[in-house]
Structure 1
Amino acid sequence: MPDPSQKRPVIALTGATGYIGRNVMESLIDDYDIIALSRNGDAKDNEEHVEWRSCDFFSFQDALKGLRGADYAVYLIHSMLPSAKLTQGTFEDMDVILAQHFARAAAENGIKQIVYLSGIIPPHEHRDELSRHLQSRLEVETILGSHGVPVTTLRAGLIVGPDGSSFPILAKLVRRLPAMILPSWTRTKTHTIALPDVIHAFQQVVGREDVYSRAIDIGGPDVMSYQELLQRTADIMGKKRRFIPFPFPTVKLSRLWVTLVTQEPKEMSYPLIESLAHPMVAEARQTVPGISDGKITYEEAAAAALDEEQKKQEEKKREQEEEGSKTPSPVRKLKQAVKSDVRSVQRITLPEGQDAIWAGDEYLHWLSRLASPLLHIKTTRTGVQQVYVLWWKKPLLELTFDVGMSQSDHAIYRITGGRLLHAKRAHNGRLTFLQIPNSRECIVAIHDYMPSLPWVMYKYTQAKIHLWVMKAFGKYLRRWKHRSTTDTKAAPRQAMSQHDSTVR
């Protein structure tokens, strides 16, 4: 706990409008000043000890500004749901971008500690055997700690609360299905923990140096199978449900029918259901007294969550009756919120000894060779890369290398013009190459791109061609052997050197 006689420490809280974030903020506000970070933070009014900031962590510039002035940072970001009108790529690759920007910005802002909420990792299963969701959580944990800021990871099983993801899905299944066929994965054990116990763990670890650079398992008093969870939930709801055991796992089939029954977005439900095949029980060697040992039973937590959910539904119903209109569903809200923009993210493997600056430069020259003579790329005197079709005088696209924001592991090309860009709309389109720390893997991404083509035409032509091109570039790099580079190919690195000399 902070010393009340000293200046209040400042915590940058991501996901401040989310399920966990709202509750974490309420629990910390008595002792800390909060920088509440959200994509739409500017639309909210500042309060006593709370400063709202808009921040999109797909942008490193936003990340730098968002964390400025903070002493500690809480990382509650994930990218399972689409963040653009067209999202191409896996949530794992998008999570890499978010975590890398956050970690680098935290280091440059002098953050003392990052607190990260993850899932319990089964100790006896190889990393490659884990679900995509758990693999991604581990990768994010590694990236967050890769820039020197100590990370405290809280690893939880099933968090029981009125919102969120896992428990509401469980409750919807019990509420809507009179009978359920239970595959073998429902016999897997999980450690439940009540939301207030999770919040207590956050309170205990912020600023506590003996848990820096440590992963801590947290759980409540109950460990049970998902079959037992369903039965206990039915008992709490006062509903009679029939459960029929089935000897096969059928995880892929399960994720389909769970999504259909609960009407949750498959981008959210699929990875979560895939993780249920793994036992998620706190390990004694990963626990810390006073942090790991939640006190609230599953029955108490579930009853409280269901009661709060009922109150919220009644309140929404009253609001709808007063307004005379329907409140949009979460899926409809998501569709209304996104712009007519594009985010396309792919992962490639770099040749030995090469970095992100090299990858961006090599990509542009490889693309010119691949599509020759149909396409060719010119470099202007100011270093702008212009992509031309053979018979057109105006370029298809113009890419401007961002010297100031690029580093050896992070190359940024601003999309600054061309026929394929909807230039009349405000945009921050960019092509980025982001090398994953301590690896040869690199994330290539287009962010906030606003195409000029009609949307349907773009989606089924240019967007498909981009995916094919990136796949071909990845194959090219796997076959690549060291070759001498020309002076032209060294332009981005030369520009960076000149920029560094100017700064010095």
Structure 2
Amino acid sequence: MVQRLKMYWSVTMNQNPSTRRRPVVALTGASGYIGNNLLQKLTKHADVIALSRNIENKQDTEHITWRACDLYSLADAEQALEGADFAVYLVHSMLPSAKLTQGSFEDMDVILADNFAQAANKQGLKQIVYLSGIIPKSRRLSRHLRSRLEVENILRAYGTPVTTIRAGLIVGPKGSSFPILAKLVKRLPVMLLPKWTRKKTHPIALPDVLYALDHSIGNANLSGKAIDVGGPQTMTYKEMMRQTAQAMGKERRMIDVPFLTVNLSRLWVSLTTNTPKEMVYPLIESLVHPMTAHPENMSEEISYGKIPFKEAARHSLQEEEKQGQQKTLPSMKLQPPSIQHDVRSVQRIPLPEGKKADWVALYYIEWLSRMVHPFLQVKEKNQSQYQIMFPITQQPVLEFTYAPERSTEDRALFYITGGVFEDTKKNERGRLEFRQIPNQQECIVAIHDYMPSLPWFIYKYTQAKAHLWVMHQFKKHLRTINPLSSEAMSI
């Protein structure tokens, strides 16, 4: 893996300066908090393919090409990375992207990372640089940190060299963790601080994180490594709150209490800061761990941030204030996003030993025909088309068409191609997929971009609930299958 990077740089750097080609970096989340800031640094020495779900208001420049990309689609991911030498992965799925999202952020992150890793391998990328969180030495990680580690392993699974930058709390305007902390300090003159606020953490200023990401791209010395980064100070969350209050010029009374649990704390933080629980809950759950960089995982090149916490906090607060003032200008008109009544439903199921995603997809169809009988029946129209229908009328409720050209033993893809429960006028990319998680005996079952024909309120509390119940039953059933049983071997 390292050799691939060395060969690339030996060729490009030995070219005549007048003809030397700038490297091409694909940047995910380019319109987001960290991505937008990193974009400005990268264009000084690289051409950037800036990836975002929505690029309506974006314009290409000499060194920036914007591409719309839905990373839930493998085809989109492959097209997005075409022509790139390197990629920076800044994706996280804490906030839902569909009108109705069923499933955990951990399982959705699996799909995003798996599509990206497969696409990177297909397009021959030299390296992926991934921004993750510091992983504490604990056997019981929080959901958020466990997911970050799983994503890292998936990105490595298809052979592309990966450099992981693991950071704790990033101090900068916007973002997630620091703005939440700042809102708490700003809104609460008296704060009751639970036990987790005395845990040690290793904050790092946004410019120091950007430096680490920028200097990891094409760096053969860091290829295949997970590098911890941190600022010049380790401190407790309580001390960060105290210094943030000083940066605001405010006095805050802080009282240590032993009885606020993590569950109560996450609700309290969400309500106080008016931040979506989908973002707050996983972050607060991670605070039970000490989030400090491990010396053995640090690099002299990029790990040691130089900006003190209070300086970074003061700068971030000033930037937030400037941006808030700009939003109040009369010329600043924000158009609300159009609402699509689309559905994404993602569940994780076990795979019997030795079985693959293509097996479980076909087995699901056979099991479902028994499960819904006699109220519904599943009919195989031909070798690639399956219909769920009412027995009396023989009218399809839903129709699925297998896509052999987009399927492998590790991924079975079906397009939703008809049925009275589908809005045929709006459906463009509705699909059902079964995807094995790399190096695990587990499978992700996902419905993407499904447009139901039922009125939205009725669908949400009938068909959507029924689908979750069916998947729960299928998951329970799979756990009972003996891999050597006649049932498992007959499919």
TM-score between both structures, scaled by the size of structure 2: 0.94
Contact 1:12 1:70 in 2 (8 A): yes
- Corresponding position of 1:104: 118
- Corresponding position of 1:444: 445
1:287 equivalent among 284, 298, 314: 298
Q: Report the 3-state secondary structure (helix = DSSP H, G, I; strand = E; otherwise coil) of the residue aligned with 1:93.
A: helix
* Unmatched runs of 5 consecutive residues or more in structure 2: 1-8
Q: Distance in 2 between matches of 1:338 and 1:455?
A: 12
Mapping of residues 309-324 of structure 1, within 5 Å = 309-319=320-330
> CA shift at 1:371, angstroms?
1.3
Note if 1:208 corresponds to 2:222: no
Q: Distance in 1 between matches of 2:67 and 2:338?
A: 18
1:113 equivalent among 111, 127, 132: 127
Mapping of residues 152-231 of structure 1, within 5 Å = 152-231=163-242
Q: Distance in 1 between matches of 2:413 and 2:70?
A: 16
Q: Report the 3-state secondary structure (helix = DSSP H, G, I; strand = E; otherwise coil) of the residue aligned with 2:363.
A: helix
Contact 1:397 1:419 in 2 (8 A): yes
* Unmatched runs of 5 consecutive residues or more in structure 1: 491-504
Q: Distance in 2 between matches of 1:439 and 1:42?
A: 39
| Residues 73-123 of structure 1, C-alpha deviations (whole Å, 9 max, x = no match) | 110001000111110000000000000001011001101100000111112
| Residues 314-359 of structure 1, C-alpha deviations (whole Å, 9 max, x = no match) | 111223xx57x7x58xxxx5xx455110000100001011110011
- Corresponding position of 1:454: 455
> CA shift at 1:43, angstroms?
4.6
> CA shift at 1:382, angstroms?
5.5
Q: Distance in 1 between matches of 2:363 and 2:308?
A: 57
> CA shift at 1:299, angstroms?
1.2
Q: Report the 3-state secondary structure (helix = DSSP H, G, I; strand = E; otherwise coil) of the residue aligned with 2:328.
A: helix
Note if 1:232 corresponds to 2:243: yes
Q: Report the 3-state secondary structure (helix = DSSP H, G, I; strand = E; otherwise coil) of the residue aligned with 1:11.
A: strand
Q: Distance in 2 between matches of 1:237 and 1:198?
A: 23
Contact 1:42 1:53 in 2 (8 A): no
Note if 1:378 corresponds to 2:382: no
> What amino acid is the match of 2:193?
L
Residues 49, 164 of structure 1: alpha-carbon distance in 2 compared, 3 angstrom cutoff: same
Contact 1:396 1:418 in 2 (8 A): yes
| Residues 366-397 of structure 1, C-alpha deviations (whole Å, 9 max, x = no match) | 00011112222222236211111111232111
Q: Distance in 1 between matches of 2:312 and 2:56?
A: 34
Q: Distance in 2 between matches of 1:485 and 1:446?
A: 26
Q: Distance in 2 between matches of 1:68 and 1:236?
A: 45
> What amino acid is the match of 2:156?
G
Q: Distance in 1 between matches of 2:129 and 2:382?
A: 46
- Corresponding position of 1:367: 368
Q: Distance in 2 between matches of 1:369 and 1:483?
A: 18
1:75 equivalent among 60, 83, 89: 89
- Corresponding position of 1:277: 288
- Corresponding position of 2:465: 464
More displaced, 201-210 or 382-391? 382-391
Residues 170, 486 of structure 1: alpha-carbon distance in 2 compared, 3 angstrom cutoff: closer
> CA shift at 1:270, angstroms?
0.8
> CA shift at 1:307, angstroms?
0.7
Q: Distance in 2 between matches of 1:359 and 1:486?
A: 10
Residues 284, 21 of structure 1: alpha-carbon distance in 2 compared, 3 angstrom cutoff: same
Quote the RMSD (CA, aligned, Å).
1.7
Contact 1:188 1:279 in 2 (8 A): yes
Mapping of residues 297-446 of structure 1, within 5 Å = 297-319=308-330, 336-381=337-382, 383-446=384-447
Q: Report the 3-state secondary structure (helix = DSSP H, G, I; strand = E; otherwise coil) of the residue aligned with 1:380.
A: strand
Q: Distance in 1 between matches of 2:397 and 2:344?
A: 19
Structure 1 runs of 4+ with >6 Å offset: none
- Corresponding position of 1:496: none
Contact 2:164 2:225 in 1 (8 A): yes
Q: Distance in 2 between matches of 1:155 and 1:56?
A: 25
Q: Report the 3-state secondary structure (helix = DSSP H, G, I; strand = E; otherwise coil) of the residue aligned with 1:46.
A: coil
- Corresponding position of 2:3: none
> What amino acid is the match of 1:222?
Q
1:88 equivalent among 102, 113, 120: 102
Contact 1:11 1:72 in 2 (8 A): yes
> What amino acid is the match of 2:161?
P
> CA shift at 1:265, angstroms?
0.6
> What amino acid is the match of 1:226?
Y
Q: Distance in 1 between matches of 2:75 and 2:339?
A: 21
> What amino acid is the match of 1:29?
T
TM-score between both structures, scaled by the size of structure 1: 0.92
Q: Report the 3-state secondary structure (helix = DSSP H, G, I; strand = E; otherwise coil) of the residue aligned with 2:75.
A: helix
More displaced, 64-73 or 249-258? 249-258
Q: Distance in 1 between matches of 2:70 and 2:469?
A: 28
Q: Report the 3-state secondary structure (helix = DSSP H, G, I; strand = E; otherwise coil) of the residue aligned with 2:404.
A: coil
Contact 2:433 2:447 in 1 (8 A): yes
> CA shift at 1:313, angstroms?
1.0
More displaced, 369-378 or 260-269? 369-378
> What amino acid is the match of 2:439?
N
Contact 2:427 2:450 in 1 (8 A): no
> What amino acid is the match of 1:52?
W
Q: Distance in 2 between matches of 1:48 and 1:276?
A: 43
Q: Distance in 2 between matches of 1:266 and 1:221?
A: 31
Contact 1:36 1:52 in 2 (8 A): yes
> What amino acid is the match of 1:215?
A
Q: Distance in 1 between matches of 2:58 and 2:211?
A: 26
| Residues 426-454 of structure 1, C-alpha deviations (whole Å, 9 max, x = no match) | 42111111100111110101000000111
Note if 1:134 corresponds to 2:127: no
Contact 2:481 2:488 in 1 (8 A): no
Contact 2:25 2:88 in 1 (8 A): yes
Contact 2:410 2:435 in 1 (8 A): yes
Contact 1:185 1:249 in 2 (8 A): no
Q: Distance in 1 between matches of 2:441 and 2:203?
A: 37
Residues 176, 85 of structure 1: alpha-carbon distance in 2 compared, 3 angstrom cutoff: same
1:65 equivalent among 74, 79, 82: 79
**Number of residues of Structure 1 aligned to a counterpart in Structure 2:** 476
> CA shift at 1:237, angstroms?
0.5
- Corresponding position of 1:495: none
> CA shift at 1:483, angstroms?
4.7
- Corresponding position of 2:25: 11
